[in-house]
């Protein structure tokens, strides 16, 4: 396991686990943790052996967000440049999630608040335990959501619900997160790590070429027009069809076996 500035990176069964690893402070973002997280995500994205990325938190929380005590000190010092730097690196983290040509899953147990909430929202998929909660806590300290949270939450739940969650700073429990479609699945606490791994392993068994194209297509469909989507399909489908993974997938279908897809080449 590679560990740097409160962020761990390890590989298991074609899955990269990126761990927020400051459990004694509920994995709050301190020091150069943002830079380390962006670097870990970019490393996993470049690794052709990795087909799925899982972001998780050590201990009893996913991430409680920023260190407010440290922010109070910065405010007292009038250090706006440091705030700009943190916002910029938060944006780099979100770009690393969105630009990765593979599914990124947030495994949420316990608290996901502030930047931690918006990190989870930026992921392609979110699974949680019954202890999972999500809070857009920025308004409580007179700030607006960053780390792309405005974009991510509006995409997931629409502007009206996003406004209520962000303007009230309310905490959403696991049941409400599932109801809103923010969580894709809820797994039991006692089997959560194993269930997350099984969920990720199922995805890792699919064609990485197709997964990358689907991720790109979802982004286009979310922000673009029908014509944008149709143009993407016209370009992407022949390319996928000509590839070896499509050939393997069709052969496996006809032979009634599980396909053995090759890793995505970059």
Residue pLDDT, tens place only, 194-242:
999 999 999 999 999 999 999 999 999 998 999 999 999 999 999 999 9
Collapsing DSSP to helix, strand or coil, 249 comes out as: helix
Q: How confident is the model at residue 2 (pLDDT cuts 50, 70, 90)?
A: low
State mean pLDDT over 81-107.
94
Residue 147 has pLDDT above 90, yes or no: yes
| 168 and 68 together in one domain | yes
| 104 and 29 together in one domain | yes
State mean pLDDT over 4-24.
94
Query: Smallest Cα–Cα separation from 196: which of 259, 258, 125?
Result: 125
Task: Give φ, ψ of 53 to 5 degrees.
Answer: -115, 130
Using an 8 Å Cβ cutoff, are 52 and 105 in contact? Answer: yes
139 to 69, 120, 156: CA distances (angstroms)? 16, 18, 20
Residue that terminates a domain, selected from 204, 220, 246: 204
Here the CATH number for the domain that contains residue 250 is 1.10.12
| 173 and 233 together in one domain | no
Distance CA 70, CA 83 (A): 11
| 6 and 135 together in one domain | yes
Here the CATH number for the domain that contains residue 172 is 3.90.226.10
User: Does the residue 236 lie in any domain?
Assistant: yes
Question: Domain of 217?
Answer: 208-255
Query: Smallest Cα–Cα separation from 15: which of 75, 100, 140, 136?
Result: 100
* Domain total in the chain: 2
Tokens linked to 231: 């143009």
Residue 116 has pLDDT above 70, yes or no: yes
Mean pLDDT over the full length of the chain: 94
Predicted local confidence at residue 148, as pLDDT: 96
Tokens linked to 258: 């599980």
User: Does the residue 262 lie in any domain?
Assistant: no
Stated pTM of the model: 0.93
| 151 and 235 together in one domain | no
Q: How confident is the model at residue 3 (pLDDT cuts 50, 70, 90)?
A: confident
Count other C-beta atoms under 10 Å from residue 144's C-beta.
Answer: 11
Collapsing DSSP to helix, strand or coil, 76 comes out as: helix
């Amino acid at each position: 396991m590679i560990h740097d500035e409160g962020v761990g990176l390890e590989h298991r069964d074609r899955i990269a686990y990126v761990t927020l690893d400051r459990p004694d402070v509920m994995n709050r973002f301190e020091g150069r943790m943002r830079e380390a997280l962006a670097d870990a995500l970019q490393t996993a994205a470049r690794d052709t052996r990795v087909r799925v990325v899982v972001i998780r938190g050590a201990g009893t929380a996913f991430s409680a967000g920023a260190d407010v005590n440290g922010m109070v000190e910065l405010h007292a010092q009038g250090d706006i440049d440091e705030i700009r730097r943190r916002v910029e690196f938060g944006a780099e983290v979100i770009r690393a999630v969105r630009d990765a040509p593979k599914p990124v899953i947030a495994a949420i147990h316990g608290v996901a608040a502030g930047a931690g909430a918006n990190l989870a929202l930026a992921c392609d998929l979110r699974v949680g335990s019954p202890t999972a909660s999500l809070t857009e806590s920025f308004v409580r300290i007179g700030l607006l959501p960053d780390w792309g949270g405005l974009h991510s939450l509006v995409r997931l739940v629409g502007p009206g619900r996003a406004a209520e969650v962000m303007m009230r700073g309310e905490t959403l429990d696991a049941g409400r997160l599932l109801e809103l479609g923010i969580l894709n699945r809820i797994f039991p606490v006692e089997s959560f790590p194993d269930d997350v791994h099984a969920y990720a392993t199922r995805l890792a068994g699919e064609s990485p070429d197709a997964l990358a194209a689907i991720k790109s297509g979802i982004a286009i469909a979310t922000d673009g027009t029908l014509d944008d989507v149709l143009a993407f399909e016209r370009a992407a489908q022949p390319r996928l069809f000509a590839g070896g993974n499509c050939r393997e997938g069709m052969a496996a279908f006809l032979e009634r076996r599980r396909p053995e897809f090759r890793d995505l080449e970059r």
